[in-house]
Structure 1
Amino acid sequence: MENKLLEELLKKIPENQYIGLGNPNSKILFIGKEAGAEIETEMFHGSAKSWKEKEFNYSEKYVPEETKIRNLNHTWQRYQKLYDCILSNLEIEFEKKDKYEISFVENIFTTELSNLHAPNTTDAKKQEKFTEELKSRKDIFFKSNFIKQFPIVVIFASDNKYIETYQGEVCELFNVKFDKLHNENAKDKIWIHSETENDKNPRLVIHTRQLTNSISVDLIPNICELIVEFIKEHSIK
């Protein structure tokens, strides 16, 4: 799938740098903490090398065979639940041939804050170059024109070791201003940032917790509502 800004980025970064999965021409970007894999393993899928070789179509829907993904509590299944909610609220009809089908990759791009994969956050933060690699990635990858093209960004990482909340790093990194906390009394916080003064390039950045483990029942519906409102208000196609 061609994307000029992605092609430009691929010329500048190492082949082992993680780019992401999904549709690079989409309007929505999901950002997690790190890819879930054993530290010793080499990550090919989603890497700059894989995008250069263009052997795989990462925006094609599929039915996962892995047991861990065939679990509705898995991060990708919760991404899917959010995507289904967005489509429903926009009154876009869709069908599934399997209840575990992953189709959000058709219209959403996903990436990770950290380039260092790990099976869990605890192990990720113990890696020797965790802080150094994270800083470098923010400067090179997250400030790239490729990332700037997405009008809707959702950051699923409320750990300050990865990115500071609301009035801190998010504003500087994504060139937005902090608007408000969605619901101060909510168990799972949602910090809302935006750039709407530029009519040609409005932007919504939502910052919240990971979608793993135990999340409140209203977290996904609330994120969905914010995204749909922004899409409708700014006629984003």
Structure 2
Amino acid sequence: MLTKKDASLYIEKIPANKFFAGKTVEISYKEYQAIKTEDNTVKVGKFLSVDEIHSPFCFGETIDYMVHVIRCSPRSPSLPKEISNMSYHKFLNFSFFRRVENYDKRGLMTSLVLDTYSFKKVLFTFEYDAEERLVQWSCSMFDKIVHSRKFVYYEDGSLQRRVRDLCGDTEEWEYDKNGKPLQYIRNWEGNIKTIDGDSYDEEKSEPYIWGTVSYKSSEGKIERTTISEDGEKSVIIYKDIEYQKEPDDFLGSDKYDENVFSCTLYDKKGNEIQKYVRTYFENGSWETVYYRNGIPKHIIRKECNILKDLNYMYTEKFKQVVQYCKQNNLFVGYGNPNGKVLVIGKEAAHVAKEDLADHLEKKKEELLQSNVAQWEHILSTGEVPNYDGERPISDENPLYAYGNQFNKKDIRKEGKPYNGGTSDTYTKYEKLYEQLFLQGEKLKKINFQKEFFITELSDYPTKESYNDKEIEALRQQSIEERKPLFALPFFKDFPIVIVAAGDYPIKYKFDMQQTFDVQWEGKTIQVGKYWYNLHFSKDNKRILIHTRQLSNSFSGELIAAIASEAKKFL
């Protein structure tokens, strides 16, 4: 039965997201513990789980269309045989485990990829006109287009025609000079339905009224209050957007509705039973706090992970560092030079003690020359990092530096076969990264390089325990040579600096306060048998944390404490 609701302009609109212009973005929904603070606010607690991926509007329509095709013509040649042969249970009980969006330079989404269990990779592509209006979207499964939509507009931007391109089904609208609809025509498989003006009397369904509904509107928001016949009440606040359908009252169904600000349910006595409150952020992500009986229980966040940024730029300050290291034969480092965390360790990769006499100088030269040459190549090509892609496990690209190793300790030193794990130090870096950026969520493979830039006080590949006098002199010389490097402006651009070098700054007279333009707060903080010192910039926008080397018996409590201090500067 055709109703006025069917003829209304609930059209697909994909507004530009300028924040994602030129980027590839992974969308995920994650659940966290909700923690009520002393000042009666709510903050994000520990990571709990990955929530289900939200189904975009175009996917739901595609499924409906394919179900119709299969019912009308089993094993239809218009659909891939993998779909035609699929059981209804598998077909209709789909689930997603990954969603990746690509944006052009205008910030318009050009494609969306869904990884699903039933349909494998599902690709949506989107096209727009010069006015940034959506003119077509297409869906491909198993390398074949299975559904598409085209949109035609009048000069004033109002929708004239919507077409299911593969079957030719159409919907058309006509308006008067004031924009009021005069006629709606729907032609689906030759079955034509027409509605003229406001009549709608020939075919309409009476709404089911189960209580009273009232509305209040202000500043682009609508507050809808619904009171049931038995006295229960719901209040939902949502965006006042003409072409969008009204959201449901049920909290679960509006879990991903990005037009809703809040939804509250009350019992007959007016007591709050359940509530959620959503906060939207500039980049399109959001955070929703769920309450039960007034107590915050959990938080669901839509998170946007940038996989690739075509606008990624290497700063002139970093280029200066690479040039200085080339001229002075110094080690640059590993990781993301545009990251938020600078970690300075004691010394570079280690050479076996028995090889030191013959190979130390040679190993140092190999390390330094290859590291500088690699960075020069990256700068000359403008390579865009992709920290979430698959990469070989090696140091041949300093942007990643052994990334993709499994997030566990390498057991080869114990005489066992290689298990794909990483070094002790890197497991600690990874844990710190997860505490800082992922609320403690443990990744399968290390990826701290995404936000960390790692370098060393000494670029001689030795351990502190190698106490040979000649080696000690070389270490002292190396640190002296690197002091002017750390004084370059690049190293003052990180909001978080962690000097994980134990007593090296004192032993080798490395003045952290002068070098990084920070001031020690004057006390050492103890965490069990471990310690750290805090230094701050004069404008309080940067923090430097000095602690022991991040390896071996470095405690989880110390990592949590350091992360807690550093988070304030993200």
Given the two structures, how large is their TM-score scaled by the length of structure 1?
A: 0.78
1:144-180 deviation digits (Å, cap 9, x = unpaired): 1121211210010112xx2129xx8221221111114
**More deviation, 36-45/109-118:** 36-45
**Following superposition of structure 1 onto structure 2, how do residues 1-237 of structure 1 map, counting pairs within 5 Å?**
2-14=314-326, 16-38=329-351, 39=356, 40=359, 41=363, 42-43=366-367, 47-54=371-378, 57-60=397-400, 62-64=403-405, 74-89=424-439, 96=443, 98=444, 101-118=445-462, 120-123=463-466, 126=469, 127=471, 128-139=473-484, 141-159=485-503, 162-164=504-506, 169-181=511-523, 183-184=525-526, 186-195=528-537, 197-198=538-539, 202-231=541-570
Give me the CA root mean square deviation.
2.9
Distance verdict in 2 for CA 1:125–1:34, change over 3 Å: farther
Separation (CA, whole Å) in 1 of partners of 2:491 and 2:376 = 17
Bigger Rg, structure 1 or 2: 2
Distance verdict in 2 for CA 1:51–1:154, change over 3 Å: same
Matched-pair contact (CA < 8 Å) for 1:117–1:124:
no
Amino acid at match of 1:21: Y
1:87 deviates by 1.7
Amino acid at match of 1:136: E
Which one has the bigger strand percentage?
2
Distance verdict in 2 for CA 1:223–1:185, change over 3 Å: closer
**More deviation, 213-222/17-26:** 213-222
Separation (CA, whole Å) in 1 of partners of 2:448 and 2:491 = 18
- Percent of matched pairs sharing the same residue: 28
Separation (CA, whole Å) in 1 of partners of 2:423 and 2:524 = 24
Separation (CA, whole Å) in 2 of partners of 1:30 and 1:209 = 12
Given the two structures, how large is their TM-score scaled by the length of structure 2?
A: 0.35
Matched-pair contact (CA < 8 Å) for 1:73–1:213:
no
- What are structure 1's unaligned runs of at least 5 residues? 232-237
1:62 deviates by 3.1
Separation (CA, whole Å) in 2 of partners of 1:134 and 1:189 = 23
Distance verdict in 2 for CA 1:147–1:46, change over 3 Å: farther
Q: Greater RCO between the two (CA within 8 Å, min separation 6)?
A: 1
Matched-pair contact (CA < 8 Å) for 1:31–1:111:
yes
Separation (CA, whole Å) in 2 of partners of 1:124 and 1:144 = 31
Matched-pair contact (CA < 8 Å) for 1:164–1:170:
no
1:34 deviates by 0.6
